[in-house]
């Protein structure tokens, strides 16, 4: 399943950041030449493919080596797993290029098929028919009699790379240049500490749904909800992924109470992180309202009123999709609803952040060197840190009470109270930031 | 309709003068052009008149009261477009304008009519279904001007609206602004275009180097 998700991810990633992304200058130079594109941009593809292969082999090698040292795997099987994953990395590189070279409609469909076939690996008898199934067979073979044929099949599957010249020839100059420029901007923004700007540059502009009617009727709050929902429909893939992340976050939060003590914090932190990321795709209107909280706003209502109204859709989305994941237990759903409101509050805080104060970049000399970067990192990651510490920490506490109403009554009410206090503090801080933007 | 006036307003930071003292009045139904070389303080003066900057000396008054953007009356009365605004990339041009009009109290079909009329006046109605990232720089400039015209106002303040526009589009902007003057609005416009100034403004103030 993980291998299938990686393959689907590679297909979807290609359109945002493909394997062929030289610097803008090199892109201009290479794509403008009269040589075939399969020759001019082959080197950047090989470089990306090599980085991918090394990363896969390093990650898999580490895990497999640990099992061999622990006596849980035979060395021959371990070598076969590493070789099989090396072959699979070739297939991944090919799929990554497919994502960059072929139309999005095709790659999204293919990613869906890959995910579905990946989900069927638990069905008996389906493993031998897909590359992700071969990976699963190799993995199962670690502690059992050695199976060699999946490694050979995976090695042969990298023959798919024979299609690379055709895919490189199909790359469009304008799209390559757009990716090059975008990633150069992102590098510059990250280097100057503007992570919010960098993540904004990663969001593709809309291309569809422009003729869908946006009523904008009724009271302003209703008009804003209509606006945000219709606008969200213009990013179907992004919204689908974000919503699935919210479902997953709800599920992870719910299962925290069933996890052993040492594992519960992993599911809790993963759940709240996923919720924070997932709800972000519903926050376009919120971000625009925050951008207009400065003097000279386009809008006729106060920044607070606009931001508050634009927070309604993210809260509704988080509650709806997260509750789907937490389905089956009223206490889990109740806790999730509180978490959802808190996480959207933190999103508001993050949207109203404005540019990083230049003072945070001033050098702080210490015996171990300049530690000003720690200030910058803390400033950039403050919202996520708040979510992890407050929402994650309290979810662990609620989970420790165990499933059932008695458990929730014992510790859940206390946790809810603490969450409310933290929410009030976050709201006060957000209000201060919004007022500062208007000055 | 509102009466805008400035009495010896100047702006300086520390000992640096950004705007030398200047006085004028813009009665309802008239337009004032602000001219001057780069760095003479045109944009500073417009920010001051829109209430986003306080004068170091002198006073800027709207109907006899100091202009301050914290005042709801000033915000409702003055529509200023100084630089490009923060557009919503997920909305089409027409939706941007309808949404802006809606937040200013023009709901439903009234907002749609306002957006339609503004887009037609500026010759961008055919582009109504485009997203902002699909516009040329000149079309983006026209959309920016449209954001100032689509909402209700008594005073219109525009900073170099002719930027990136060809002669035909400049004429369209001039005609749209003249219609607002005829309606009784007070208009202040900073511009480097002699043609635009001649076709709009009845009075001119030229800023010297501060």
For residues B140 and B81, the answer to whether their CB atoms sit within 8 Å is no
Complex ipTM, two decimals?
Answer: 0.89
Q: Please check whether residue B35 touches A, CB under 8 A.
A: no
Q: With helix as H, strand as E and coil as C, how does A95-162 read?
A: HHHHHHHCCHHHHHHHHHHHHHHHHHHHCCCCHHHCHHHHHHHHHHCCCCCCCCHHHHHHHHHHHHHH
Size of interface A-B (CB pairs under 8 A): 78
Q: Please check whether residue B80 touches A, CB under 8 A.
A: yes
Give, rounded to a whole angstrom, the gap between the first and last alpha carbons of chain A. 51
Question: Phi, psi (5° rounding) for residue A45?
Answer: -65, -45
Interface test with B, best of A210, A306, A354 (most B CBs within 10 A): A210
By the 10 Å C-beta count (0-12 exposed, 13-18 middle, 19+ buried), A320 is classed as middle
Token pair recorded at residue B209: 């180097």
Rounded CA-CA distance B181/B165 in Å is: 21
User: Residues of A with CB below 8 A from B130's CB?
Assistant: 210
B98·A211 Cβ contact <8 A: no
For B:171-200, CB contacts with A below 8 A are none
Return the pLDDT at A412: 73
Interface test with B, best of A219, A289, A300 (most B CBs within 10 A): A300
For residues B48 and B25, the answer to whether their CB atoms sit within 8 Å is no
Q: Report the run of H or E that residue B138 belongs to, with start and end.
A: helix B137-149
Q: Which of B89, B108, B151 sits opposite A217 (nearest CB)?
A: B108
- For residue A128, which of A153, A94, A93, A145 has the smallest C-alpha distance? A153
* pLDDT tier at B200, thresholds 50, 70, 90: very high
Q: How many CA atoms lie within 13 A of A107 on its CB side?
A: 24
Q: For A256, which DSSP code? A: G
pLDDT exceeds cutoff 80 at B76: yes
Q: Which of B52, B86, B108 sits opposite A292 (nearest CB)?
A: B86
For residues B101 and B114, the answer to whether their CB atoms sit within 8 Å is yes
Return the pLDDT at A143: 64
For residues A419 and A394, the answer to whether their CB atoms sit within 8 Å is yes
Round the average pLDDT of chain B to a whole number and report it.
94
Question: What are the pLDDT digits (tens) for A274-318?
Answer: 999 899 999 999 999 999 998 888 999 999 999 999 999 999 999
Return the pLDDT at B56: 95
Average pLDDT of the residues in B115-137: 96
User: Residues of A with CB below 8 A from B91's CB?
Assistant: 214, 227, 231
Return the pLDDT at A202: 67
List the domain boundaries for chain B. 4-83+134-207
For residues A74 and A146, the answer to whether their CB atoms sit within 8 Å is yes
Q: Which of B92, B100, B131 sits opposite A298 (nearest CB)?
A: B100
- Give the residue numbers in A contacting B (CB under 8 Å), as ranges: 205-207, 210-211, 214, 216-218, 220, 223, 227, 231-232, 234-235, 284-285, 288, 291-292, 294-296, 298-301, 306
Rounded CA-CA distance B33/B18 in Å is: 19
pLDDT exceeds cutoff 90 at A249: yes
Average pLDDT of the residues in A222-249: 93
Question: What are the pLDDT digits (tens) for A387-435?
Answer: 999 988 888 888 776 555 555 566 678 888 999 999 999 999 999 999 9
pLDDT exceeds cutoff 80 at B1: no
Rounded CA-CA distance A130/A120 in Å is: 10
Token pair recorded at residue B173: 């902007």
In this prediction, what percent of chain B has a pLDDT beyond 70? Answer: 99
> What strands lie across the sheet with B31-36, from one edge to the other?
B78-81, B155-159, B186-190, B31-36, B203-207
Return the pLDDT at A183: 83
Average pLDDT of the residues in A358-386: 81
CATH topology of domain B4-83+134-207: Rossmann fold (3.40.50)
Q: Please check whether residue B111 touches A, CB under 8 A.
A: yes
List the domain boundaries for chain A. 2-179, 195-437
Average pLDDT of the residues in A205-224: 91
A217·B80 Cβ contact <8 A: no
A291·B86 Cβ contact <8 A: yes
Nearest chain A residue (CA) to B108: A217
Nearest chain B residue (CA) to A207: B131
Round the average pLDDT of chain A to a whole number and report it.
85
């Amino acid at each position: 399943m993980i291998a299938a998700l990686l393959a689907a991810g590679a297909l979807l990633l290609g359109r945002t950041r493909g394997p062929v992304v030289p610097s803008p200058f090199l892109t201009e130079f290479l794509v403008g030449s009269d040589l075939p594109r399969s020759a001019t941009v082959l080197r950047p593809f090989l470089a990306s493919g090599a980085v991918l292969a090394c990363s896969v082999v390093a990650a898999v090698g580490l895990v497999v080596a640990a099992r061999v040292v622990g006596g849980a795997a035979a060395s021959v099987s371990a070598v076969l797993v590493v070789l099989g994953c090396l072959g699979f990395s070739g297939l991944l590189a090919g799929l990554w290029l497919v994502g960059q070279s072929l139309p999005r409609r095709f790659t999204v469909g293919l990613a869906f098929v890959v995910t579905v076939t990946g989900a069927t690996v638990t069905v008996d008898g389906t493993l031998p028919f897909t590359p992700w199934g071969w990976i699963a067979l190799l993995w199962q073979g670690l502690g059992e009699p050695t199976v060699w044929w999946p490694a050979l099949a995976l090695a042969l599957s990298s023959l798919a790379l024979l299609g690379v010249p055709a895919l490189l020839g199909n790359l469009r100059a304008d799209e390559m240049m757009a990716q090059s420029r975008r990633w150069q901007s992102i590098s510059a923004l990250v280097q100057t500490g503007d992570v919010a700007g960098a993540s904004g540059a990663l969001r593709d502009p809309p291309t569809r749904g422009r003729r869908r009617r946006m009523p904008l009727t009724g009271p302003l709050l209703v008009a804003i909800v209509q606006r945000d929902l219709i606008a969200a429909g213009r990013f179907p893939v992004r919204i689908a992924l974000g919503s699935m992340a919210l479902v997953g976050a709800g599920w992870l939060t719910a299962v925290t109470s069933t996890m052993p003590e040492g594992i519960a914090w992993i599911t809790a932190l993963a759940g709240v992180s996923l919720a924070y990321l997932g709800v972000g795709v519903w926050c376009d209107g919120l971000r625009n309202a925050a951008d207009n909280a400065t003097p000279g706003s386009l809008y006729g209502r106060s920044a607070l009123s606009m931001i508050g109204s634009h927070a309604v859709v993210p809260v509704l989305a988080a509650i709806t999709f997260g509750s789907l994941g937490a389905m089956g237990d009223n206490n889990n759903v109740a806790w999730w609803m509180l978490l959802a409101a808190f996480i959207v509050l933190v999103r508001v805080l993050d949207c109203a952040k404005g540019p990083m104060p230049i003072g945070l970049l001033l050098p702080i000399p210490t015996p171990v060197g300049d530690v000003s970067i720690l200030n910058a990192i803390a400033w950039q990651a403050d919202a996520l840190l708040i979510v992890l510490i407050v929402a994650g920490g309290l979810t662990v506490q609620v989970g420790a009470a165990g499933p059932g109403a008695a458990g929730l009554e014992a510790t859940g009410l206390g946790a809810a109270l603490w969450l409310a206090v933290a929410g009030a503090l976050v709201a006060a801080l957000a209000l201060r930031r919004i007022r500062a933007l208007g000055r | 309709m509102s009466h805008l006036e400035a009495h010896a307003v100047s702006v300086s930071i520390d000992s640096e003068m950004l705007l030398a003292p200047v006085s004028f009045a813009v009665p309802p139904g008239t337009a004032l052009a602000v001219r001057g070389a780069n760095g003479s303080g045109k944009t500073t003066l417009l920010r001051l008149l829109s209430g986003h900057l306080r004068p170091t000396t002198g006073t800027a008054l709207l109907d006899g009261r100091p202009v301050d953007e914290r005042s709801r009356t000033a915000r409702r009365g003055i529509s200023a477009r100084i630089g490009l605004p923060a557009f919503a990339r997920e909305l089409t041009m027409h939706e941007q304008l309808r949404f802006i009009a809606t937040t200013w109290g023009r709901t439903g079909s009234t907002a749609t009519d306002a957006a339609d009329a503004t887009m037609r006046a500026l010759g961008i109605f055919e582009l109504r279904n485009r997203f902002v990232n699909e516009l040329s720089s000149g079309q983006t400039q026209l959309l920016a001007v449209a954001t100032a015209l689509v909402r209700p106002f008594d005073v219109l303040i525009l900073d170099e609206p002719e930027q990136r526009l060809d002669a035909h589009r400049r004429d369209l902007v001039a005609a749209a602004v003249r219609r607002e003057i005829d309606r009784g609005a007070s208009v202040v416009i900073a511009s480097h275009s002699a043609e635009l100034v001649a076709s709009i403004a009845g009075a001119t103030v030229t800023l010297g180097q501060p």
